[in-house]
């Protein structure tokens, strides 16, 4: 399997002296959906910025589809990665939804005549085509993030990183974004790699693989069920399990492995038989 992102012996100091990453390694396979979880200040967002070359590492290597990230390759590497940021307002460049999606295409020097088709296509994937001529302040937070996702999709990246993209949204907005991501995964399958950075375990559960980091260290790495069964480690690193996991932990009779909500209900109803 191709490696989408390979991070090798990465070192990065915060403010010149505070060590954040000291020999960090992580490999993400192409087509995977990886949830990068950690509490605030664990270094997960910094990692995303390092991968995109928005900040420079002190030492170590980052390869994206086999291409080493350097000053010369940074623009080419960025072409393969799309990123959705946390604050819906601060990444909306255009004056209208269509203009915002166009911004990336204009940078890529796509001919003007091809743009409307590409914009419509990207917007219809995220279900925002009807809002094409709306302005950002007429949209909800969830809708703005879907536009941000469309802006990224229009550029046809191989990797999409979502950096706390749902953190500022209400539960409805959060649900629609997660739903959109699942749709995308179903549509593009292994052609697209997702990295969702979050501290919300309910989001992490949708991923193929969960990576827990804290203080620049890799703490846990495995399938959601695998990682969520390590209750103490999760809690010691300032995180909480999804509701079903937290509930299971409070029970006197505990299930042997991590169960999601439906599985837990089934398990509980079988207890008294």
Partner 1 sequence: MNNIMIGRFVPGHSWVHRLDPRTKMMITFVYILVMLWANNWQTYAWATLFVIGLVRLTGQPFKLYWDGLKPIFWLILFTVILQLLFTPGTPVLFSIGPLRVTVPGILNAVYVMVRFVLIILMSTILTLTTPPTSIANALESLLSPLKKIGVPVAELSLMLAIALRFVPLLMDETQKIMNAQKSRGMSFSTGGPVKRAKAIIPLLIPLFVGALQRALDLANAMEVRGFKDAVQRTKYRILSYQKIDQVAFLALGGFVVIFLIIKTVIHG
Exposure b/e, 186-216, CB count within 10 A at least 16 = b: eebeeebbbbbbbbbbbbbbbbebbbbbbeb
117 to 136, contacts with partner 1 by CB under 8 A?
Answer: 119, 133-136
Residue in 22, 29, 63, 79 binding partner 1, rule: CB under 8 A: 79
d(C-alpha 172, C-alpha 223), whole Å: 26
Binding to partner 1 (CB under 8 A): which residues in 186-245? none
Element (H, E) at 143: helix 141-153
Q: Could you tell me the smallest distance in angstroms from the CB atom of residue 103 to partner 1?
A: 6
Number of residues that bind partner 1 (CB under 8 A): 43
Q: Which of residues 19, 95, 251, 265 is near partner 1 by CB under 8 A? A: 95
Task: Output 8 or 99, the one with its CB closest to partner 1.
Answer: 99
**Per-residue interface string for the shown chain with partner 1, residues 152-171, x marking contact by CB under 8 A:** x--x----------------
Q: CA torsion 60→217→177→109, rounded to 10°? A: -10
Q: Are 52 and 78 in contact (CB under 8 A)?
A: yes
Q: Where are the alpha helices (DSSP H) in 82-114?
A: 97-107
* 79, 114, 135, 164: the active-site residue: 164
CB of 216 to partner 1, least distance (A): 20
Nearest to 191 by CA among 7, 17, 33: 33
135 is a catalytic site residue: no
- Report d(CA 205, CA 153) in Å as an integer: 23
Give yes or no for residue 15 binding partner 1 (CB under 8 A): no
Q: Does residue 99 belong to the site contacting partner 1 (CB under 8 A)?
A: yes
CB 218 within 8 A of CB 24: yes
Structure tokens at 265: 């209900």
Q: Torsion angle of alpha carbons 109, 45, 212, 239, nearest 10°? A: -130
- Draw the binding track, 37-66, toward partner 1 (x: CB under 8 A; -: no contact): ------------x--x-x------------
Query: Shortest Cβ distance from residue 194 to partner 1 (Å)?
Result: 16
Q: Which residues bind partner 1 (CB under 8 A)?
A: 49, 52, 54, 75, 78-79, 81-83, 85, 87, 89-96, 98-99, 102-112, 115-116, 119, 133-137, 151-152, 155
What is the set of active-site residues?
Answer: 164
């Amino acid at each position: 399997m191709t490696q989408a992102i390979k991070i090798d012996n990465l070192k990065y100091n915060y403010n010149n002296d505070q060590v954040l990453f000291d020999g960090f390694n992580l490999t993400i396979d192409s087509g995977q959906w990886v949830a990068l979880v950690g509490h605030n200040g664990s270094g997960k967002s910094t990692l995303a910025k390092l991968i995109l070359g928005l900040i420079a590492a002190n030492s170590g290597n980052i390869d994206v589809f086999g291409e080493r990230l350097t000053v010369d390759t940074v623009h080419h590497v960025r072409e393969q990665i799309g990123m959705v940021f946390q604050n819906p307002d601060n990444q909306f460049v255009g004056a209208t939804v269509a203009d915002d999606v166009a911004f990336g295409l204009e940078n890529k020097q796509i001919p003007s005549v091809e743009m409307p088709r590409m914009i419509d296509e990207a917007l219809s994937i995220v279900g925002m085509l009807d809002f094409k001529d709306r302005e950002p302040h007429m949209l909800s937070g969830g809708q703005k993030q879907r536009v941000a996702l469309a802006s990224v999709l229009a550029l046809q990246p191989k990797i999409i990183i979502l950096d706390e993209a749902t953190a500022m949204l209400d539960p409805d907005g959060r649900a629609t974004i997660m739903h959109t991501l699942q749709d995308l995964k179903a549509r593009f399958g292994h052609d697209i790699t997702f990295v969702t950075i979050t501290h919300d375990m309910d989001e992490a559960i949708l991923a193929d693989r969960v990576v827990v980091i804290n203080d620049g260290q890799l703490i846990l790495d495995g399938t959601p069920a695998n990682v969520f069964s390590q209750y103490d480690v999760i809690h010691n690193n300032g995180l909480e399990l999804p509701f079903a996991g937290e509930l299971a932990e409070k029970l006197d009779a505990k299930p042997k492995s991590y169960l999601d909500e439906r599985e837990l209900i089934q398990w509980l109803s079988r207890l008294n038989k």
